[in-house]
Structure 1
Amino acid sequence: MKIEIDTDLCCGAGMCALVAPGVFDQNDEDGTVILLDPAPAAEQHAAVREAAGRCPTAVIRIT
């Protein structure tokens, strides 16, 4: 799994950081997503998929 994010479209809802805190975090200044792990381990994949599905602006792309 490889993750890409579009920080320009991020609205800072924080669902990604709540669902997959080992993979995503939020910028302290504006709340936008910070990608901590662009290639997470297999045990993180389900949480990453859930985070992508819950993102209100669909900024998380998984390949």
Structure 2
Amino acid sequence: MSKIEKQWISIEELAEYLGISAVTIRFWIRSGKDIPAVRIGRQWRFRISDIDEWIKSGKSNFS
């Protein structure tokens, strides 16, 4: 597992990683899309390895 997969990233960094807008990620969080995220204070954080698994599992409908 690489260093990037272990660290927590922001909504903006995740949007860049997935090639979508940050607005879409915020919508997924609000609509209960089951995206693997952790809220720390007022900020949402994501682990790349968790996101990759979420996509592979088919729960994201994102391919």
Length-normalised TM-score, structure 2: 0.32
More helix by share: 2
Larger Cα-atom Rg: 2
- Return the structure number with greater relative CO, CA threshold 8 A, min gap 6: 1
